[in-house]
Amino acid sequence: MRTWFIILTVFFIVAQPGAPFRAAAQQPAIPPAPGGRSSASIFKEVAEQVGLKFQHYNGMTGKFYLPEITGSGAALFDFDNDGDLDVFVVQGNVLEPNTQASSTLFPWRGSESPRGRLFRNDLVIAKDGSRTLHFTDVTEKSGIAASAYGMGVAVGDINNDGWPDLYLTNLGHNQMYLNKGDGTFVDVTQKTGTDDPRWSTSASFIDYDRDGWLDLMVLNYADFSVTNSPTCYAATTAKDYCTPRVFKAPGNRLFHNKGDGTFEDVTVSAGVDKDFGHGLGVVTADFDGDGWPDMYIANDGDPNQLWINQKNGTFKNEALLAGAAVNRDGQAEAGMGVDAGDFDGNGTEDIFVTHLMDQTNTLYTNLGKGLFEDRTREAGLGMPGTRFTGFGTLFFDYDNDGWLDLLVANGAVQLLPGLVRKGDPYPLAQPNQIFHNDGQSKFVEVSDQAGAAFQLLEISRGAACGDIDNDGDTDVLITNNNGPVRLFLNQVGNRNHWLGLRLIGKDRGRDMLGAQVEIVIAKNKTLWRRARTDGSYLSANDPRVLVGLGSATHVEAVLVHWPDGAVDEWQDLRIDQYSTLKEGTGSRRK
Amino acid sequence: MALEGRAQDAAQTKEVLPPPKTGLVTLHWPDLMKLEAEVREQLMSLQAGLTATVKDPKATTATLSEAYGTMGEIYQAYSLNSPARECYFNAGFLTPQDFRWVYLLGTLDQQEDLADDAIRRYRIAGTLRPEYVAVPVNLGNIYLQLNRLEDAKENFKAALAIDEGSAAALYGLGQVALSQRSYAEAVNYFDQALAVIPGANRIHYSLALAYRGLGDAEKATAHLAQQGTVGVRVNDPLVDGLQELIKGERIHLIRGKLALESRRYAEAAVEFRKAIAANRDSLPAHVNLGAVLIQTGDSKGAAEQFEAALRLDSQNTNAHYNLAFLLANENEHGLAILHLQSVLSVDPNDLSARTFLAQELLKSKRLEEALAEFSRVVKADPDNEDALLEQVKLLEQKRQYKQALDSVEKGHAQYPQKGRTAATLAYLLAASPQYDLRAGARALELAQLIYKATGSLEHGAIVTMALAELGRCTEAAEWQRRLIATAERERKTDLVTKLNTDLKRYERGKPCRPAGDPGAQANAN
């Protein structure tokens, strides 16, 4: 309970980065964004060009093991607190014992064994605003030994020291890496008690009891082992990948952060053991608008769960009655990735779940008080979603017009006949999709404007968003199974005005995940956003909030609803730059 | 146009059948190498027949069309859609008045989300056979997906004009109404659809949404409780007939598995029997049919299937496990044990089988062996609370009190949130038969926590035991009397008797601690 307040003058940290410029690398400069509109593509793919060289390895041997088509994810996070987003990419490994990575169907060519990799962002911004983006692989120095069969990654500061930590999910034991703040990480899995030896997928940091410490939800997918994996067939009678339903769902795990460097498994006492499916995607937000964070879990082939926070350390699954467990036809779909955002501007968190081809990707619009309605068709997302199998997905405003757009990273999970006929040895590749929000609760597919690389046929899985070059628009990182990581730099967003916010805690500057931001642009125009790293699929996003303002040149007020219920207000924040808003330093309202 | 795109895709394959006439497209043979042998033979034989017809200069247009169309149907039945499309295109080109080929092409378009092509072809098909109800229903569904609600409504109504009892059309109209938030109208249509097909329990979900929209939470909840996985589909003899063309076991296995997963057991049994008809040595078909028959209550039939499976593969763990399940239900514990041991000889890591084995050994009074098995389960899966508590119980029976306490202490340390483990620990700390293992203060603290959380009388009794162990006999008696009063109100007579027995000891005053095992004290000393 807060009993006092202080009103400070508006607190600014003007324009990133705070760290000194680094020497420019031998990379082409990215010119500042032009002022006027042109026919430029939305994105430019630059991963390899900027040193983000990563090839996913899935260890496949032709035996159609389910994990090989499932991974992996990536994280955008500022591990060295220098003001720009670094990248961690999750890696696979061999699946079968006594198998050499170099002798699998797609042999591993690296000089060292496959492992997850950390890339430091050495962004340099010149005085004229031009940017030189370059990444340096610092895995070795970081101390991160992610050599398990990796699936996903979650980011959160577990000890409130201001340095973001990493939780890695694996097929097998998970790993918690504590950021020491000196460029290195230490494995604290055992010490923190956060291991889960099963097949974990997405995870999310959430301060569900509002005690100021980030707790952790970990999803588990299927009780798979190479010895219990049956042979499965497609309708053609040819061998194919099994659905997860041939394996038991193991159940998820909720860890409570005790604030002393350890976590407690509260799965049972919190009630989240009562319902579960083959969990793949998780997103946390205040879905019923009561000020307490809830959790939404996308399950592959089973009804989804909407865990509503009961404000006493427990949750209740209210998905079915809320209208968010199954689609409008009453069918449980193959939930993969999930994201939440206020796409229709009514101040509530809507939910978007990606699915198998032949099923729609489903948009559950929030009617308020935690009730949802499947409005996929009405939003124009019916047909476009059924062509591909969606995984990573993001609500983000690519053109900064103030309306959240949608991205879907696609890649099939059962052999595509057209590619089989072409002799493709791994015939699952599909193009990604991006949809523009027209501000009238409808989406229009604009994938053909997203740039050539965006339409490559790849087996995409993870997707993470963030402003990687700190230029005021949202970039996207996409991971590909058995393929390279792709970095899509936004070319158009900062033609509109924007407001960048980093929301940090009052003590040592932890990113306040779950904080909601109310951006009052004008009397009748308010946007709601939230600070988060979760959502999508196996991936972690930029914790900063980047708000597209369209043509608005002024923001009347920004109200931050902190996770503990307190609210700070700032007025006259400068637009087109990042500001850091520290809890307790605005004009406190309650 | 869709066909051109598909043909381009297929152009990479080497095996083709050139067209005999202008206007027809080249047929690209699918790669059959990875298909089931019987299916491969069926397709190769039909392909040879088509080739002969195509090369026959005397073949009439009608014959040629029928040959292409029939080949297309077989391909579609096996989901080989790309060559099916080429076949239908040629058949339709040759006999454009034949409803079948343009309609089936439309179904492929719809399946592949080529909405415009599907609409165009269905419209043509509708002019050729206006009475075929699946045409307007399919059109309605496409328009619904495109959110063209008025077009959807028009087509569903057209379907009702053909067949007033079309549940698919009624359901579609309900969905249109739901989209328009005309909830009362939606309820009306869904109710009608449900009346036509009462088993289509997925309609209950739509009804729940409609009632929720009407603000009737009670009815919404009632319908949610009835919702299931069986939906509504249109009567479509042409597409349904494709299934009869299928040979081989795999396709039936797939369908059977899907039906089994959706708990449509009768349908699953039919599919698995078809799989066995196609291949009587089909191990998965026998095992899965057995599993289905268990669900339908046909234990004898199920056992026959598992035995057949074991004749094919004496090491099949699923067949052994399921047979053990059936035998255990008939109290044939000895035989069940043998099957479970067979499972574990193949897969020693099968914890379900090991737990089951331990339970069967227990029922057979083979306590030493049961203890060994429960201990193995606990070691491999410390999360298994049932196994842990059985292990503790058996250790207590063997008077290995220290080991029992150690085991439950370890389990509690790993999973402090598990209530039964915590209660067992509190009980042992309060009343272990071996006095020197007791720790009254800790027992009291733990028991009070548990009682506070559960309010259970049994847990309240552990509190009194802990008080008694601490020598706080008056308090223990007072607690016990309150528990007895509650137990009497709840008519728990057995518990009342037990609590009264202990009450007498508490009322006698010090020492009122729970009785121990004299032998254990001697051993401990």
Measured distance CA(B468)–CA(B514) in Å, rounded: 7
B79 and A234: CB-CB below 8 Å? yes
Predicted local confidence at residue A11, as pLDDT: 27
Is residue B184 in some structural domain?
yes
pLDDT at B13 over 50: no
Q: Are residues B513 and B483 in the same domain?
A: yes
Work out the percent of chain B whose per-residue pLDDT is above 90.
69
Please state the rounded mean pLDDT for residues B290-298: 88
Residues spanned by the domain of B227? 165-234
Please give the residue of chain B at the shortest CA–CA distance from A385. B113
Q: Which residue of B has its CA nearest to A422?
A: B12
Calculate helix-pair angle for B183-196, B203-213, nearest 10 degrees: 160
Kindly determine whether residue B417 and residue A265, on different chains, have CB atoms separated by under 8 Å: yes
Choose from A421, A424, A440, A457 for mutation: most chain B CBs within 10 A: A421
CB contact under 8 A, A321 and B221: yes
A320 touching B, CB under 8 A?
yes
My answer on whether B522 and B425 are in the same domain is yes
pLDDT value at position A5?
28
Query: B254, B315, B321, B418: best mutation site toward chain A, by most A Cβ within 10 Å?
Result: B254
Q: In chain B, how many domains are there?
A: 5
Q: Residue A17 CA to chain centroid, in angstroms?
A: 23
Q: Alpha-carbon distance B112 to B118, whole Å?
A: 9
For the cut 80, the answer to whether the pLDDT of residue A28 exceeds it is no
Residue of chain B whose Cα is closest to the Cα of A360 = B145
ipTM of predicted complex = 0.86
Contacts of residue B79 in chain A, CB cutoff 8 Å?
234-236, 417
pLDDT tens across B295-311, in order?
A: 888 899 999 999 999 99
Q: Are residues B114 and B75 in the same domain?
A: no
Interface contact A330-B227, CB threshold 8 A:
yes
CB-CB neighbors (< 8 A) of B80 in chain A: 236, 417
Of B178, B203, B234, the residue that ends a domain is B234
The verdict on residue B76 lying in a domain is yes
A-chain residues within 8 Å CB-CB of B204? 330
Q: pLDDT (tens digit, 9 = 90+) per residue, B348-393? A: 888 889 999 999 999 999 999 999 999 999 998 888 899 999 999 9
Task: Kindly report, residue by residue over B396-451, the tens digit of the pLDDT.
Answer: 999 999 999 999 999 999 888 888 999 999 999 999 999 999 999 999 999 999 99
Q: For B44-93, what is each residue's pLDDT tens digit?
A: 989 999 999 999 998 899 999 999 999 999 999 999 999 999 999 999 99
What's A312's DSSP letter?
A: S
For residues B293 and B229, state if they share a domain: no
Average pLDDT over residues B327-331: 91
Which of A57-71, A133-147, A248-262, B249-263 is the least confident region?
B249-263
CA distance A22 to A80: 14
B119 and B220 assigned to the same domain: no
Distance CA A485, CA A69 (A): 15
Amino acid making up residue A155: V
Domain limit, last residue, from B309, B333, B355: B309
Please tell me whether residues B196 and B181 are part of one structural domain: yes
Same domain (yes/no): B422, B515: yes
Is the CB of B113 less than 8 angstroms away from the CB of A387?
yes
> How much of chain A exceeds pLDDT 70, in percent?
93
Domain of B304: which CATH number? Answer: 1.25.40.10
B206/A330 Cβ within 8 A: yes
Does residue B380 fall inside a structural domain?
A: no
Answer yes or no: do A238 and B35 touch at CB < 8 A.
Answer: yes
A82 DSSP assignment: S
When CB atoms are compared, the residue of A245, A269, A387 closest to B417 is A269
A327-368 pLDDT, tens per residue? 999 999 999 999 999 999 999 999 999 999 989 999 999 999
Residue A476: beta bridge partners? A465, A488
Give, in degrees to the nearest 5, the angle at Cα A247 between A74 and B253: 125
- Asked if residue B159 belongs to a domain, the reply is yes
* CB contact (8 A) between residue B212 and residue A371: yes
Residues of B in contact with A233 (CB under 8 A): 36, 250, 253-254
Which chain B residue has the Cα nearest residue A319? B224
Nearest Cβ partner for A422 among B9, B227, B261? B9
Give the closest residue to A391 by CA, choosing from A37, A69, A170, A114. A69
Per the prediction, chain A carries an average pLDDT of 90
Note whether B416 contacts A264, CB cutoff 8 Å: yes
Task: Give SS3 for A155.
Answer: strand
d(CA B394, CA B386): 12
Task: Please give the average per-residue pLDDT across A113-126, as a whole number.
Answer: 96
In chain A, what residues touch B205 (CB-CB under 8 Å)? 326, 329-330
The total of other beta-carbon atoms located within 10 Å of residue B517's CB is: 16
**Chain B touched by A7 (CB under 8 Å):** no
> Chain B residue with minimal CA distance to A373?
B209
CA of B72 to nearest chain A CA: how many angstroms apart? 14
B416: which residues sit within 8 A by CB, 6+ positions away?
A264, B422
Q: Domain boundary residue among B95, B111, B131? A: B95
Chain B: give the shortest CA distance to residue A529, in Å. 28
B204 → chain A, closest CA residue: A330
Surface-to-core class of residue A314, CB atoms within 10 Å of its CB (0-12 exposed, 13-18 middle, 19+ buried): middle
Residues of A in contact with B220 (CB under 8 A): 321
Q: Establish if A33 touches chain B: CB-CB under 8 angstroms.
A: no
**Same domain assignment for residues B174 and B212:** yes
Residue B122 lies in a domain: yes
| Residue A9: pLDDT over 50 | no
pLDDT of amino acid B521: 61
Average pLDDT over residues B260-281: 86
Q: Report if residue B62 sits inside a domain.
A: yes
Do B60 and B142 belong together in one domain?
Answer: no
* B480 and B518 share one domain: yes
* Mean local confidence (pLDDT), B98-108: 97
pLDDT of residue B11: 35
At A377-429, the pLDDT tens digits run 999 999 888 889 999 999 999 999 999 999 999 999 988 988 888 888 999 99
Does residue B315 sit within a domain?
no
Contact A266 B417 (CB under 8 A): yes
CB contact under 8 A, B10 and A377: no
Q: Do B51 and B34 share a structural domain?
A: yes
List, for residues A190-241, the tens digit of each pLDDT value. 999 999 999 999 999 999 999 999 999 999 999 998 888 888 888 888 888 9
Task: Give residue-wise pLDDT tens across range A471-525.
Answer: 999 999 999 999 999 999 999 988 899 999 999 998 778 999 999 999 999 888 9
Closest by Cβ to A237, choosing from B39, B113, B220? B39
Q: Is A235 within 8 Å of chain B by CB?
A: yes
Name the pairing type of β-strands A362-368 and A371-374. antiparallel
CA distances from A586 to A180, A210, A578, A580 (A): 30, 20, 16, 11
Report the residue of chain A nearest B80, measured CA to CA: A236
pLDDT of amino acid B522: 53
> In this predicted structure, what is the pLDDT of residue A227?
83
pLDDT digits (tens, 9 = 90+) for B158-212: 999 999 999 999 999 999 999 999 999 999 999 999 999 999 999 999 999 999 9
What residues of B are in contact with residue A386 (Cβ under 8 Å)? 113, 145
* β A567-571/A578-582 pair status: unpaired
The predicted structure's pLDDT at residue B259: 80
Cα A470 vs. chain centroid, distance in angstroms?
A: 18
Instruction: Tell me how far apart the alpha carbons of residues A18 and A14 are, in angstroms, rounded to a whole number.
Output: 9
Residues A421, B10: C-beta atoms closer than 8 Å: yes
Residue in B with minimal Cα distance to A326: B205
Distance from CA of B334 to the nearest CA of A (A): 27
Whether residue B351 is contained in a domain is answered as no
Say yes or no: B159 and B211 in one domain.
no
Contact (CB<8Å) A382/B30: no
User: A417: number of CA atoms within 13 Å, CB side?
Assistant: 25
SS3 A453: helix
| Contact between residue B124 and residue B102 where contact means Cβ atoms under 8 Å apart | yes
